[in-house]
Structure 1
Amino acid sequence: MFGRLGSTHPPAGSRRLAHTARLAALATAVAMGGVAIAVTAAPSSAAACNGYVGLTFDDGPTGSTSALLNVLRNNGVRATMFNVGQNVQNNRAAAQAQVAAGMWVANHSWNHAHMTTMSQSQMQSDLSQTSSAIQSATGVRPQLFRPPYGETNSTLQSVASSLGMRQVLWDVDSQDWNGASVSAIVSAAGRLQNGQVILMHDGIQNTQNAIPQIMANLTSRNLCPGMISPSTGRAVAPDGGGGGNPTTPPPGGGGSCTATATTPNVWGDRYNTSVTVSGASSWTVVIGITSPQRVTTTWNGSFSWDSSGTVMTVRSNGSGNTFGFTTMMNGNSGARPQIRSCTAG
């Protein structure tokens, strides 16, 4: 049977611990009355991530893992999945799907027991068995460990370290295990700061429903989902497959590519973004837009949107490796789109 929802949280009282362009711009200006004088800005990179946060999901894989992965991929998210060993053993395909979707997999014990009550040898057996099950299913040896309930001591940390894993707790508890509403989960994630980690769970519908809003909030603050460093336990920029997953591609499958964005034209109420992809002729690029800004015109790519209207997925359509779009500022003149990922194939 799958892991117990909400079982990660600490017991009460002991909680511890995101040229064609010119013609398109002109067409947009004409369509809108186009009387504003355009100010052509020097090309500048689209807003870079000013920081990274670690989105983590415990207690998987579950019967809902496939749905969770779909939501994460549709929103351009890579996250860390703290898996329970016996769940991996019982659902190897779901664990494999996590890695195929670009997620980082980590150790969350064999069956979510209170590990601080165990002897050192029992701890060693539990964590070793879990890491072996994850590696057998996914080909990835975990470098991160999260103790069930957040309960830990020096012996457990030492055992994890001896197995090549760093212990990772959390900075923000989403309280999804405690019946938190979608808005409450979004609000909790809104407290994340650069380098911090949030606790969430696989198998909770409200958590899945909150992800688009969580990403919209992170984008508005120039924060991006990152990997958790095995060296520091803090969220850092993804390295294309880090966190112990050296062969893991970013969301969408295939290899990596590079997407470079510039904003060659800026008007008083809108601006153009031009994106050039290198390293692949067939590609998928995920871009975050800061609300209330909205894209009104697109060219040279196949564009789709998530439910929040703030995450845009662009796929190559045979028009070359440069695409673009016009964004209405809607009162927010400072924000620029964020390139979240570029995937070849």
Structure 2
Amino acid sequence: MVLRTLLAAALLLAAPLLPANPAGAAPAAKAGPVALACTGYVALTYDDGPNAQYTRALLTALRSAGARATFFDLGSRVQQQPQVTREVVQAGMWVGNHSWSHPYLTNLGAAAVARELGDTQNAIRGATGQAPTLFRPPYGATNATVQAEARKLGLTQVTWSVDSQDWNGASTDAIVRAATGASAGGIVLMHAGYQTTVDAVPRIVQGLAARNLCPGRIDGSGRVVAP
């Protein structure tokens, strides 16, 4: 008994001292990209939601990776699935306007463009309590009329600098290569409708972190900044 007690004491003295965890404190969160190491930011964006299956899967993947993203949603789908859009905001993501029905807005007159954008603003505000400040024209198709109607609603037009081609059948590997090749200030186009895109999330965040880049937020001037 005495020998066991002496051995236990010796092991205790040899053990490294660890910082005490305050009473009731939550366990430390799993380490993600270190914000202080970021030399630039890249915006991860997902179009055409909400999608009950893939939007939720994206939220899970993004949260697990410690990343935030912008979801450009269609008003018609927000109307059908407002709860999914609420979950996007509750998860700390941002929601932008992607029109009501995904038309080529450049083929429409001013009144029709105004309805596409205005009805979507109302649907997202109704679902989340917040009106979007960002707008992405479907297909990236825009003109002076589209931009003028967007400005009337206080919307900043956002397109992209990197197309992941997930909509065109790109593999997860190809999506990761495209997204991680983005430069600081870049905006990556992806979509909330593919398992390959969901699977790419952790590798995208890791690949950006290896270059000291972190997922960022698109501000009111269209620049990518710290979240």
So what's the TM-score if we normalise by structure 1?
0.56
For residues 180-211 of structure 1, give each alpha carbon's deviation from its aligned partner in whole angstroms, at most 9, with x where no partner exists: 00110000012111111000000110000011
CA RMSD, aligned part only? 1.7
2:41 aligned to 52, 73, 78, which one? 52
Q: Quick one: which amino acid aligns to residue 77 of structure 1?
A: A
Per-residue deviation, 1:63 = 2.2
The answer on 1:225 being equivalent to 2:215 is yes
Give the Cα separation in 2 of the matches to 1:81 and 1:146.
10
The answer on 1:169 being equivalent to 2:159 is yes
Per-residue deviation, 1:134 = 0.2
Per-residue deviation, 1:71 = 0.7
The answer on 1:23 being equivalent to 2:17 is yes
For residues 73-116 of structure 1, give each alpha carbon's deviation from its aligned partner in whole angstroms, at most 9, with x where no partner exists: 11111100000000000001000000000000000000101111
Q: Quick one: which amino acid aligns to residue 93 of structure 1?
A: Q
Give the Cα separation in 1 of the matches to 2:35 and 2:188.
26
Query: Aligned residue for 2:140?
Result: 150
For residues 217-276 of structure 1, give each alpha carbon's deviation from its aligned partner in whole angstroms, at most 9, with x where no partner exists: 111111111110112x121011xxxxxxxxxxxxxxxxxxxxxxxxxxxxxxxxxxxxxx
The answer on 1:108 being equivalent to 2:98 is yes
Give the Cα separation in 2 of the matches to 1:151 and 1:181.
25
User: Does the 8 Å CA contact 1:47/1:222 hold for their aligned counterparts?
Assistant: no
Q: Tell me which stretches of 4 or more aligned residues in structure 1 moved more than 6 Å.
A: none
Query: Aligned residue for 1:285?
Result: none
Give ranges in structure 2 of 5+ residues lacking alignment: 1-15, 20-33
Query: Aligned residue for 1:61?
Result: 50
The answer on 1:99 being equivalent to 2:89 is yes
1:137 aligned to 121, 124, 127, which one? 127
The answer on 1:122 being equivalent to 2:112 is yes
Give the Cα separation in 1 of the matches to 2:62 and 2:41.
16
How do 1:272-291 and structure 2 match up within 5 A? none
Give the Cα separation in 2 of the matches to 1:169 and 1:80.
12
Q: Quick one: which amino acid aligns to residue 81 of structure 1?
A: F
Per-residue deviation, 1:140 = 1.1
Q: Quick one: which amino acid aligns to residue 41 of structure 2?
A: Y
Per-residue deviation, 1:23 = 2.9
Q: Quick one: which amino acid aligns to residue 223 of structure 2?
A: R
User: Does the 8 Å CA contact 1:182/1:210 hold for their aligned counterparts?
Assistant: yes
Give the Cα separation in 2 of the matches to 1:46 and 1:218.
12
How do 1:1-345 and structure 2 match up within 5 A? 23=17, 47-64=36-53, 65-231=55-221, 233-238=222-227
User: Does the 8 Å CA contact 1:49/1:222 hold for their aligned counterparts?
Assistant: yes
So what's the TM-score if we normalise by structure 2?
0.84
User: Does the 8 Å CA contact 1:63/1:203 hold for their aligned counterparts?
Assistant: no
- The percentage of counterpart residues that share the same residue type is 52
SS in 1 for 2:130: coil
For residues 2-56 of structure 1, give each alpha carbon's deviation from its aligned partner in whole angstroms, at most 9, with x where no partner exists: xxxxxxxxxxxxxxxxxxxx6359xxxxxxxxxxxxxxxxxxx984311111000
Q: Quick one: which amino acid aligns to residue 48 of structure 2?
A: D
Give the Cα separation in 2 of the matches to 1:114 and 1:47.
41
Give the Cα separation in 2 of the matches to 1:114 and 1:120.
13
Q: Higher strand fraction: Structure 1 or Structure 2?
A: 1
Aligned residues: 198
